[in-house]
Structure 1
Amino acid sequence: MIKLNLFNERIMPMMRILDSHAHLDHALFDTDRDELFESMAQAGIETAIIPGVSPERWSKQLDVAKRYSCPYGLGIHPWFCADNPQQALDLLTDKLNSYIEDPYLVAIGECGLDKIHKDNWHGQIIALQAQLSMAQQLNLPVILHVVKAHSEMLAMLKRYSLPRGGVIHGFYGSLAIASEYIKLGFKLGIGGLILNPSARKLRTCVAQLPHDSVLIETDSPAMTPRNAAESRNTPLILQSIIAEIATLHKKTSVLISEHAFRNTVQLFDLKLILI
């Protein structure tokens, strides 16, 4: 049984925490979003980055980001790619042009490759290539979703020179794969899976990752840790993720939180929007 230590008053005031990936615009938060953000503030969670997933969802995403002063990305998730994604890519170009001066626009994505959802594989490739090109042109980092497609993703990233790099969100691969991404200037987003004792490969990998390569995230409302109190995931598990990474590294939670906070601020250039 995993004990989620969400409100440790002894360490909370010493830590600055950001959720580097949370879909807080999701409908599952519609009934209590205000209360959730209040609880996040009480837990020392300063903000969350809200990724974009499809043209149909950008409007609500942007409304939520504005209301709660959250940084965000704009992108087309591989699950939402059509076989011919050009129309969606044109809409993304228009949206990026409209918001490029907004300091809260901090990334392209969530975009990527997912072989579990491979019926639209051709569209995923086209959409990812276009979004990597946008990241180049706009000098923005990318938020990447990669499922059973690391070799394809690494090959593609080597063909693009991304000045700001990005993050492999929800990373659960081996240390060898992690090292390849790090060489290309990418960070690794570590989420609730680290709390599952059976995730041995990930736990072994994370224990050996350099501190400057790790971001913490939840992917809320998805990726709920095993044995959590509710089926809906929220940023309130971040302190437990930090504590678990600290245990694996034999370091303090404060040290891990400091590195994760600094890594996120640097990658997404959040200095102007965080006090």
Structure 2
Amino acid sequence: MKSILLLLFIQPIVLLAQHTIFYSSEEGSRGRDIYSMELDGGKYRKLTSSMGGGHYPHHNNSKLSPDGETLVFMSDPDGHDRYTIWTMSIDGSNFQKITQNEGLYPNWSPDGKTIVFSGRRNGVWEILTIPAKGGAEQIISKNKEQGKRPGWGATCSFHPNGQSLIYSYIREKVLYSYTLASGKTERISKAGNYLHPVYSKDGRIAVCRKLDESYDLVVIKDGEEEVIAKSIVSYSAPDWYVNDSKLLFVGMVNGNQELFSIDLKTKEEIQLTKNKSFDAMPVAF
């Protein structure tokens, strides 16, 4: 009986995550909130509220945990642009502040036990990790020790084996790989035109790549690049879903940012949102 009750408790969460996109939007908000939406572009729900002392906070860059139960995101309820890292359940409950100091662009380790993020420490932008439930943070980039001063934070994605991660500093736009055991960093792109790399479960990389005056959605496999979609919005990371057969990204429609899905085989694009406000940073499970 206990196992049956456990299954009944878990199943709705898994089904919701499998059929839901999470994203940031200004629809119906004076700040920016995180919403959930059915994959077919149907029913949507606001998960956060525009709380904040004297300002309208931005809840951005949500990432779904490997078990599909928790979102990690950056938020500034304590002051405009004073971002810290938070988590919440996928139904919008159980808010937890994970970092006390600055934190941007969080993401999960494959086992869901660790969060990687960026933040300024001692005046220098670093890449850090922290237990998913909160606790002592660890600086893994060692930029201050090595005399490096990145112009802004980095977005990171763990390799599916959990042994390394790929990252790109927002202003430098170069792809690097970092091996956790050795602490070794390797540059893996020649040019500085790459933003928001995201690993698939089989080790492919989806990334925003600048070519000429616009950014394309590109997939890198074994060092080879394939353009998947052209003229995308660059500051919003793509995301894999439906067994990594499709990608989510953000494009412009009549000067407005909207969410799109694209099939990697057919290259068929589907517009998922049609709001008159900002929609970006989609993730799905």
Q: Give the TM-score category using the shorter length.
A: 0.3 to 0.5
Higher helix share: 1
From the two aligned structures, give the one with the greater strand fraction.
2
Question: Who wins on radius of gyration, i.e. which is larger?
Answer: 2
After TM superposition, the score normalised by the length of structure 2 is: 0.34
Higher relative contact order (CA 8 A, sep 6+): 1
